[in-house]
């Protein structure tokens, strides 16, 4: 189904992930989706052996891994050169899933593993009380290339302009670095404007050579603390800030936890059993903001209750959601999307089930307009 909000559009399909991914790659609209996905977030059943209200999480490990491999392989043609894949799991299969990710994308595509604090309460029934999940991040272009296109987190540091610098607010940073890879030109005595002499601390060196430090000082980019007696510090301007590199540990206080996600669903759907394993929308918003820009395409082929699509719509990203359970789509995903779509509401009767589409319709991935 195709939807359009204020600045994003989406496609929602019901069916097996591998079938739907192949439709996206081979249909008449393939030119849009081939190489067009900037972010793929995946929150599959973890294979915990449990049976939940809305899905079964019990499968043989070999079968689970085979399905993971097939889906990731079908995903590859859809990924843009700047794409990243975020696979969300717990301890049940995450270590084996890393091997499959290495097989499909190559070991060199691994970027990081994010640890998300999923719960704050203690479970005394188990040997250890598990309080975190893993989100494995892979980028086909490799971590160095992907770093150039990913977004940093908002820089909440304080900037000021006490000297009325025409370049705007700034803050200062030390001008020393570890000496392990330094050149000889980085070891010298600095003489401050007030005549104080400073050598770099033990085991460190100056960030710049004496010539470069002098040039920066002439450009007004050096701050001398303590009335000109302190060690030089580099002025870093607010307009230069590209955001902060995300840490690999994401606390519940920052992005929410499972309990807060369930409470949000219960408030939206009172009297209805909550979706078993929802993710907080703030978690998906952070992932989407780091990995994409407005207008980029976000894919989730384990859509579940629809959190990824809702977050993408709110943030002005295009999205594709694939979910095998029509009940889950109609119970949660469609009403949640309707709540953010305004006049462009989705109609449950218009949702396309991939396996039941006529051949021609499947070839074109016909959109159903709400």
pLDDT at 2: 44
Alpha carbons 200 and 189: distance in angstroms, whole number: 8
For 85, what's the count of Cα atoms within 13 Å in the CB-facing half-sphere? 31
pLDDT at 181: 87
Phi, psi of 133 (to 5 degrees): -115, 170
pLDDT at 348: 47
pLDDT tens readout for residues 206-231: 999 999 999 999 999 999 999 999 99
Q: Is the CB of residue 175 less than 8 Å from the CB of residue 231?
A: yes
Pair of tokens at residue 354 = 């991939």
CA angle 224, 226, 231 (to 5 degrees): 45
Alpha carbons 370 and 285: distance in angstroms, whole number: 25
Number of Cβ within 10 Å of residue 250's Cβ equals 22
Locate the DSSP E strands across 44-202.
50-51, 56-57, 79-89, 110-117, 132-138, 170-174, 176-178, 190-191, 197-198
pLDDT at 60: 77
pLDDT at 250: 98
Name the burial class of residue 10, with classes exposed (0-12), middle (13-18) and buried (19+) by CB atoms within 10 angstroms of its CB. buried
Task: Give Cα separations from 307 to 85, 233, 264, 280, 285 (angstroms).
Answer: 17, 44, 11, 8, 9
What are the chain's domains?
2-153+244-364 (3.40.50.150), 170-240 (no CATH)
pLDDT tens readout for residues 125-138: 989 999 999 999 99
pLDDT at 240: 83
| pTM attached to this predicted model | 0.79
pLDDT beneath 50: ranges in the chain:
1-7, 348-350, 356-370
pLDDT at 277: 79
């Amino acid at each position: 189904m195709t939807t359009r909000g204020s600045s994003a559009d989406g496609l929602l399909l019901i069916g097996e992930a591998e079938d739907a991914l192949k439709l996206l790659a081979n249909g008449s609209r393939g030119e849009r989706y081939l190489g067009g996905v900037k972010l793929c977030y995946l929150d599959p059943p973890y294979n915990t052996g449990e049976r939940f209200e809305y899905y079964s999480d019990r499968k043989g490990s070999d079968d689970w891994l085979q399905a993971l491999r097939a889906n990731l392989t079908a995903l590859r043609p859809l990924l843009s050169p700047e794409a990243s894949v975020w696979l969300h799991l717990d301890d049940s299969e995450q270590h084996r899933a890393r091997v499959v990710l290495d097989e499909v994308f190559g070991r060199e595509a691994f970027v990081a593993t994010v640890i998300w604090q999923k719960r704050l309460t203690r479970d005394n029934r188990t040997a250890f009380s598990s309080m975190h999940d893993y989100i494995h991040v892979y980028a086909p272009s490799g971590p160095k290339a992907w770093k150039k296109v990913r977004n940093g987190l908002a820089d909440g540091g304080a900037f000021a302009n006490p000297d009325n610098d025409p370049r705007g607010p700034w803050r200062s940073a030390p001008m020393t670095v570890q000496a392990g890879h330094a050149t000889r030109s980085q070891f010298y005595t600095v003489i401050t404007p007030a005549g104080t002499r400073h050598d770099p601390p033990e085991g460190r060196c100056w960030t710049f050579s004496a010539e470069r430090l002098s040039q920066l000082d002439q450009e007004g980019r050096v701050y001398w603390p303590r009335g000109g007696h302190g060690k030089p510090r580099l002025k870093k301007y607010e307009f230069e800030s590209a955001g902060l590199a995300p840490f690999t540990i994401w606390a519940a206080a920052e992005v929410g936890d499972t309990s807060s996600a369930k409470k949000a669903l219960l408030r939206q759907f009172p009297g209805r059993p909550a979706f078993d394993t929802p993710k907080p929308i703030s978690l998906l918003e952070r992932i989407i903001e780091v990995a994409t820009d407005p207008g980029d395409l976000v894919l989730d082929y384990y859509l579940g209750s629809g959190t990824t699509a809702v977050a993408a719509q709110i943030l002005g990203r295009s999205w594709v959601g694939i979910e095998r359970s029509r009940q889950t789509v109609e119970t949660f995903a469609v009403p949640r999307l309707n709540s953010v779509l305004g006049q462009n509401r989705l109609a449950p009767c218009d949702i396309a089930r991939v396996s039941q589409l006529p051949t021609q319709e499947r070839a074109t991935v016909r959109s159903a307009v709400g």
